[in-house]
Amino acid sequence: MTQTIGSTNPEAPTTPADTAPAGIPRTSAPSRVPAALKRRIPKYSDLAPLMQFKKPEFSRSAKLQRASTIWELRDMAKRRTPQAPFDYTDGAAEAEITLRRAREAFLDIQFRPGILRDVSSVDLGTDILGKPSRLPVGIAPTGFTRMMQSEGEYAGSQAAEAAGIPYTLSTMGTASIEDVAEAAPNGRNWFQLYLWTDRDRSLELIERAAKAGNDTLMVTVDTAVAGARLRDVRNGMTIPPALTLKTVLDASYRPAWWFNFLTHEPLTFASLSRYTGTVADLINSMFDPTLTFEDLDWLRETWKGKLVVKGIQTVEDARRVVDHGADGVILSNHGGRQLDRAPIPFHLLPEVKQAFQADNTDAAIMLDTGIMSGADIIAALALGADFTLIGRAYLYGLMAGGRAGVDRTLQILEKDMVRTMALLGVSKLSELTPDHVRILNK
């Protein structure tokens, strides 16, 4: 009896047709069509799960929640805000080269992720200037903030309080030191100071800030004269905004902004009597161009809390202000709004970090300018920053939706940071190192 043993070769013939003599065309047996690939008329029960149409939502809150990036909040802000105040926020000095380079600096990097790390829980908490912050970012001082949107500093300080991060009120802020402290009584409030030619007025501000519970004084040192902010010049930007034919036409497309502006308290300042004129005229008339390191010594003796210096653009100046008593430095070129073609804080950061390590100083290194995502913040921290500050990014949220818009800004940044950390294989900020970031094209 003959036994046929099947071949174990998957390519061997398996049907009679496969064994046809040479010269005779082979015929293939019809293949079986899987049931999933057969055509059929769909049943309603199959279609029902696919036909759950979401009710359209047109509220401002819904629009804010749909924003996934700071750039999308910027687009919303531009639609809702008249050109002059929007450009005051969005613009920079002269050809705006500095601002463009600052943003490009964060783009021209390469992250270097680690794999097979436990990142099931990512902690963004940190300590800055002796106190905790839930996120490694705070709100920078911005002037004329209620001009951008009527909630202004109140929205910023309350959003910062809710997020557990510091908020900085500007000397040029449009809410008083006392009102901000009352609006966010449990927040960590800092005060930013421009030293004036009138030292008595400066001393008064310092005393008010201390009395209101501000634990940190931030002195800005890069405004000896006003930068050439050409968008403001072209827009005829004044404080408060003037109702010219151009602004009236602009208002017709943005009635909500004008309604809010005209039905709330007129713009006043944290530290000034009511002022009418251009921003440049105000800076040039009020701020002291004779400011020196001796004035920093005076501030150190006068202010008992933490003292940080904002506007550092060289390693030498970073070291020197620490020698004169500063507890921290803020690498900043004023958002590109003063000297065009100024040094880029992100590029300066590794040099300052190296210098501070060589000096064995524990002074804090903070950074602003150009930050538009949580990934930017993580990159700065990896290269040596202890903390970061946002200005425009939060103002875009403010203009897009008031307090809710600022909240959304911080939510977007937090989500970005958590995702970036996890993808880098890092679960806490202390694990970030310069090895996680490579600066390209340098």
pLDDT tens over the chain, length 442 residues: 444 444 445 444 554 444 555 555 555 566 788 887 888 888 877 777 777 767 777 688 889 999 999 999 999 999 999 988 899 999 999 999 999 999 999 999 999 999 999 999 999 999 999 999 999 999 999 998 998 999 999 999 999 999 999 999 999 899 999 999 999 999 999 999 998 777 888 899 999 999 999 999 999 999 888 888 888 888 877 766 565 667 667 767 788 887 888 888 877 665 555 555 566 666 666 677 788 899 999 999 999 999 999 999 999 999 999 999 999 999 999 999 999 999 999 999 999 999 999 999 999 999 999 999 999 999 999 999 999 999 999 999 999 999 999 999 999 999 999 999 999 999 999 999 999 999 997 5
Report the predicted TM-score, pTM, of the whole model to 2 decimal places.
Answer: 0.86
CB atoms < 10 A from the CB of 230, how many?
16
Q: What is the pLDDT of residue 26?
A: 59
Chain-centre distance for alpha carbon 333: 15
H helix intervals, 236-339: 245-251, 255-262, 279-286, 293-302, 315-323
Token pair recorded at residue 189: 């409030």
CA distance 407 to 398: 9
CA distance 293 to 291: 7
CA distance 352 to 354: 5
Token pair recorded at residue 354: 């190296």
CA distance 210 to 191: 9
Q: How far apart are the first and last CA of the chain?
A: 82
CA distance 316 to 324: 13
Q: Could you tell me which residues come within 8 angstroms of residue 129 by beta carbon, excluding any fewer than 6 positions away?
A: 215, 216, 306, 308, 327, 328, 364
CB atoms < 10 A from the CB of 77, how many?
25
Q: What is the pLDDT of residue 27?
A: 57
Q: What is the pLDDT of residue 254?
A: 83
Q: What is the pLDDT of residue 22?
A: 56
Kindly state the DSSP code that residue 420 receives in the 8-state scheme.
Answer: H
Burial 368-395 (b: 16+ CB within 10 A, else e): bbbbbbbbbbbbbbbbbbbbbbbbbbbb
At residue 112, φ and ψ (nearest 5 deg) are: -125, 90
Q: Is residue 216 a contact partner of residue 306, using CB atoms and an 8 Å limit? A: yes
Q: Is residue 309 a contact partner of residue 68, using CB atoms and an 8 Å limit? A: no
- Give the residue numbers marked as catalytic: 334
Kindly state the DSSP code that residue 18 receives in the 8-state scheme.
Answer: G
Q: Is residue 183 a contact partner of residue 158, using CB atoms and an 8 Å limit? A: yes
Amino acid occupying residue 282 = L
